[in-house]
Structure 1
Amino acid sequence: MTDDTRDDGELVALAAGGSEHAFRQLYRAYVRPVYWIAHRLVGTPADAEDVTQETFLVAWRKLPDLELAGESLLPWLATICRFQAANRARRQKRDREHTSAAADESLPATVDVEQQVIDDDLVARILHEVAALSPLDREIFRLCAAEGYGYQAAADRLGVAHGVVRNRLSRIRTRLRTSVKEST
C-alpha cells in the first residue's frame, strides 16, 4: 500500500507516532472542509483561516489520544473546529466589550484641528508610498493591511506562496515606517 492510499486510521496512527508526513496528508485531505465549516461559524475569511489553523494545531496535540472508530477523521475535526470557533467568538466579544469601555473613557472632549491636519498629512504620505509600490506589493498591502486577510488567504487570492506575502508585507511595513519617520 502506498502513502497516498492509506486510510485515515493508518494516517492517524502514524501521525500520532510523530509522522509529520502523515499529518500533512491528513491536513491536505481535510483543510478545505474544515475551513468552510469554520467560515460558516465565524463569518469572515480571516477568522475562518485562524480557526482552521487552531483546529489542526489542537488535532495534532490530541492525535495520540484519538481512537478513530469511523472511516473519516472529518467528524472529529469538525467538533474541534466548532469548539475553536466558539472560543474565538467569546474572545472577540470580550475584546469588543473591553475595547468599547476603554474607548468611551478615552474619547477627547474637543476636536484637535492641529492633530487632524497632522493625521491627514500622515495618511497622504502613506498613500504616496503605497502608490509607489509594485502592483503585487500594493495588492498584498491592500489585502493584508486594509482588508484584514491572513497571509495564506492573501497568498491564495494572489496565486503566490505564503512566504512571498509574509516577506513582502514585512518589507512594505518597514518601508512605510521609515518613510513616515523621515518626514516627521
Structure 2
Amino acid sequence: MVQAAAGDASLVAQAAGGSEHAFRTLYRAYVRPVYWLAHGLLGNAPDAEDVTQETFLVAWRKLRGLELVGDSLLPWLVTVCRFQAANRIRAQRREREHTAEAADDSIPSTVNVEQQVIDTEFAERILREVEGLSPLDQDIFRLCASEGYAYQAAAEQLGVAHGVVRNRLSRIRTRLRTVAEEST
C-alpha cells in the first residue's frame, strides 16, 4: 500500500485544500482494496470498476468536510463503497423488474392455438369471398376497407360516382357480415 509518512490525515487535509498530488497519493494507496471490496459486493469487474470510480469521486467531493477518525481513510472509503455498491444493486434490480414487466406486458401468458386456427379460417373465408367479387368491387373494398379511403377519394381514384362506391361498399359489407355470421 502506498502511503505518505505524514499519514492520511495530512493527505486528506492537503487534498481538501485542492492538492491533486495528495489526492492521487490517497487514490493509489486505497484503489485496490476499494476495488476488491466492490468486486466482492457486485461480483463482476465492470461494475466494480464503476463503483470504485464513484467512491473516489464522492471522496474528492466530500474531503473538505471530512473529519478523519483514526489514522486511515480506508474505513470511510469502505463505507462510501458499500453505499455506492448498494445503490448500483438497487438500480440493477429496478432495471430487471422494469424489463421483466415490459416483457410480461408484451408476451401473452398462453397461446390459444384453437383461437388462432379459427381466426385463420375466418380470414381465409373473408378473403375467398372478396376474391369472388367483381374487379370493381374488389378495388372498392381494397381502397375503402383496407387502405382507409373516403368514398369520394375512392370514387375519384376509380373514376366512378360517389354513390357507386357508397352503395357497392354497403352491399360488400352486408355480404361479408353474412359470411362472418355463418362462421360463428
State the match for 1:101 in structure 2.
101
State the match for 1:88 in structure 2.
88
Where structure 2 has 5 or more consecutive residues not aligned to the other structure, the ranges are 112-184
Deviations 1:24-53 (A, max 9, x none): 110000000000111111111111111111
State the match for 1:24 in structure 2.
24
| 2:61 matches 1:55 | no
Deviation at 1:101? 1.1
State the match for 1:33 in structure 2.
33
Which structure: larger Rg?
2
Counterpart code for 1:39? H
Whole-angstrom distance in 2 between the partners of 1:69 and 1:80:
15
Deviation at 1:107? 4.4
Counterpart code for 1:22? A
Q: Matched residue of 1:71: which SS?
A: coil
Higher RCO (C-alpha under 8 Å, 6+ residues apart)? 1
TM-score (norm 1): 0.55
Moved more, 55-64 or 101-110: 101-110
Deviation at 1:59? 0.8
State the match for 1:11 in structure 2.
11
Deviations 1:128-169 (A, max 9, x none): xxxxxxxxxxxxxxxxxxxxxxxxxxxxxxxxxxxxxxxxxx
Alignment of 1:94-173 (within 5 A): 94-107=94-107
Moved more, 100-109 or 75-84: 100-109
- How many residue pairs were aligned? 108
Where structure 1 has 5 or more consecutive residues not aligned to the other structure, the ranges are 111-184
Paired-residue identity, %: 71
Deviation at 1:68? 1.1
Deviation at 1:100? 1.2
TM-score (norm 2): 0.55
Deviation at 1:78? 0.2
